[in-house]
Amino acid sequence: MISFYPGPSRVHNEIPRYVTDAFTQGIMSINHRSETFVKMSERTITLLKEKLSIPRNYTVFYTTSATECWEIISQSLVNGKSYHLYNGAFGQKWYDYTQRLHPEAEPFAFDREQQLDARKLNLSTEPGVICITQNETSNGTQVSNRAIRAIRKAYPEHIIAVDATSSMAGVVLDFKAADVWFASVQKCFGLPAGLGLMICSPQALQQAAALGENKHYNSLNVMAEMMAKWQTSCTPNVLGIYLLMRVLEKMPPIAEVHAELEQRYTDWVSFLQKRNVMRHLVDNAAVHSHTVIPVTAEPDMLTAIKKKALKQGLLLGEGYGNWKTTTFRIANFPALKAAEIRTLKNLLKTFD
Ligand SMILES: *Cc1c(COP(=O)(O)O)cnc(C)c1O
């Protein structure tokens, strides 16, 4: 079965071999305070920064998921105000979670067809955390690096946190333009679920230190103290970190991955333009995600497409939330093979 689900999705072909290596080399049983772990952790983070072009002075943390990152930001960086800019289900979920800890959290929903525009925001000058979902997996839209830079410029004193769960390791992200970036590895990284990554600027860590929140095992201050020694405050997903290291060793620099995915995305758009019974859910191509492609069709047609795909061993992503009965989603993640994409296109063509 080839999974085109936008996460968890197809994993890299090499994963079974890496898992075997981890077993033979005893990685699965190492102690997370051991020299072996520390070296592996340092190497993984060094590779991640190199391959994704993350500024050297940013700190990388291991978490369990993107959801945990929402919680960490809320408990360790928000001090009253947070501003949630979103146009879909994941951004809204982040707002909902934050609101439970901080009732002052403010939602700023924007139109799915519009690029997020710093000039139209009228946020309080009171410092706070601005929360942006860079790639909205539910509806296949994305916020551009340029839009994030404009927000940085308009709100230089705020902490900017970015959910890049379904785009990190697939597209070029301007890490300098925000303070906190996070993702989980079951999307563009092509790895099994169970590991999240959170990347923080020096300003974010200063903010955490100033707030001094340290009540939880995953308080950012506690995590930062451990990460100074390349370690974690609980036993981490050691196998997940090892697999990430092995995948990163083989990964081309992000600019190359980005170019390849952008080409594949462009091909998908022109393919969909030629179809009679389905089309891209979002009209404005300027806001299209390059990694998640939502396709809309009549409910009966949708059911037929998904059923036929499944018969051929292709799993399509269900539509999300309100769009469940009228859309399916196609992951455009690096681990998917050109031949697999061709197979899916040939199948979709049969419905014309
Ligand atoms: C998948 C996803 C999440 C949730 O990731 P978990 O690893 O399940 O916590 C959060 N945000 C976005 C944008 C996602 O695509």
Residues 228 and 267 occupy one common structural domain = no
Residue 3's DSSP bridge partners are 315
* pLDDT tens digits, one per residue of 266-317: 999 999 999 999 999 999 999 999 999 999 999 999 999 999 999 999 999 9
| Predicted local confidence at residue 60, as pLDDT | 98
Same domain? For 86 and 196 the reply is: yes
Examine the domain organization and report whether 271 and 212 are in the same domain: no
Token output for 166: 């379904």
Query: What was the pLDDT predicted at 20?
Result: 98
Query: Measured in angstroms, how far is the CA atom of residue 338 from the centroid of ligand 1?
Result: 25
Phi, psi of 318 (to 5 degrees): -65, 155
Question: What count of Cα atoms within 13 Å lies in the side-chain half-sphere of residue 266?
Answer: 6
pLDDT by residue, tens only, the chain of 352 residues: 999 999 999 999 999 999 999 999 999 999 999 999 999 999 999 999 999 999 999 999 999 999 999 999 999 999 989 999 999 999 999 999 999 999 999 999 999 999 999 888 888 888 899 999 999 999 999 999 999 999 999 999 999 999 999 999 999 999 999 999 999 999 999 999 999 999 999 999 999 999 999 999 999 999 999 999 999 999 999 999 999 999 999 999 999 999 999 999 999 999 999 999 999 999 999 999 999 999 999 999 999 999 999 999 999 999 988 889 999 999 999 999 999 999 999 999 999 9
Residues with Cβ within 8 Å of 333's Cβ and at least 6 positions away in sequence, in order, are 6, 7, 9, 10, 170, 187, 188, 190, 261, 291
| Nearest atom, ligand 1, residue 138 CA | 15
Specify the ligand 1 atom closest to the Cα of 66. 9
3-state secondary structure the chain: CEECCCCCCCCCCCHHHHHHHHHHCCHHHCCCCCHHHHHHHHHHHHHHHHHHCCCCCCEEEEECCHHHHHHHHHHHCCCCCEEEEECCHHHHHHHHHHHHHCCCCEEEECCCCCCCCHHHCCCCCCCCEEEEECEECCCCEECCHHHHHHHHHHCCCCEEEEECCCCECCECCCHHHCCEEEEECCCCCCCCCCCEEEEECHHHHHHHHHHCCCCCCCCHHHHHHHHCCCCCCCCCCHHHHHHHHHHHHHCCCHHHHHHHHHHHHHHHHHHHHCCCCCEECCCCHHHECCCEEEEECCHHHHHHHHHHHHHCCEECEECCHHHCCCEEEEECCCCCCHHHHHHHHHHHHCCC
- Domain endpoint, select from 250, 284, 314: 250
Q: Spell out the long-range contacts of 56-59 with Cβ–Cβ below 8 A and sequence spacing 24 or more.
A: 57/201, 57/202, 58/175, 58/199, 58/200, 58/201, 58/202, 59/199, 59/200, 59/205, 59/224, 59/227
Co-location of 236 and 329 in the same domain: no
- The CA distance from 330 to 292, in Å, is 6
Q: Among 9, 62, 165, 197, say which to mutate for ligand 1: greatest number of ligand atoms within 8 Å of CB.
A: 165
Residue 127: predicted pLDDT = 86
CATH assignment of the domain containing 107? 3.40.640.10
Say how many domains are in the chain.
2
**Nearest atom, ligand 1, residue 7 CA:** 1
Per-residue pLDDT at 333: 98
Same domain, 216 and 292: no
Q: Which two tokens stand for residue 15?
A: 């994963």
- Identify the residue whose C-alpha is closest to ligand 1 atom 5: 66
Q: In ligand 1, which atom is closest to the CA atom of 164?
A: 13
What domain range includes position 285? Answer: 2-8+253-349
* Backbone angles phi and psi of 216, in degrees to 5: -125, 155
pLDDT at 80: 87
Ligand 1 residue neighbourhood (C-beta within 6 Å)? 7, 65-67, 90, 133, 137, 163, 165-166, 184, 196
Is the domain of 233 the same as that of 266? Answer: no
CA of 35 to the centre of ligand 1 (A): 32
Among protein residues, the one whose CA lies closest to atom 14 of ligand 1: 165
Tell whether 74 and 93 lie within a shared domain: yes
C-alpha of residue 183 to centroid of ligand 1, in Å: 7
Per-residue model confidence (pLDDT) at position 122: 86
Distance 67 CA to ligand 1 centre (A): 6
The C-alpha atoms of residue 251 and residue 12 are separated, in whole angstroms, by 11
- Boundary of a domain, candidates 250, 267, 289: 250
Distance 185 CA to ligand 1 centre (A): 10
137 plus 158 within the same structural domain: yes
Same domain, 124 and 178: yes
**pTM of the entire predicted model:** 0.98
Going from the Cα of 82 to the center of ligand 1, the distance in angstroms, rounded, reads 19
Spatial distance between the Cα atoms of 186 and 7, rounded to a whole number of angstroms: 6
What confidence score (pLDDT) does residue 328 get?
Answer: 96
Q: Assess whether 194 and 277 both reside in one domain.
A: no
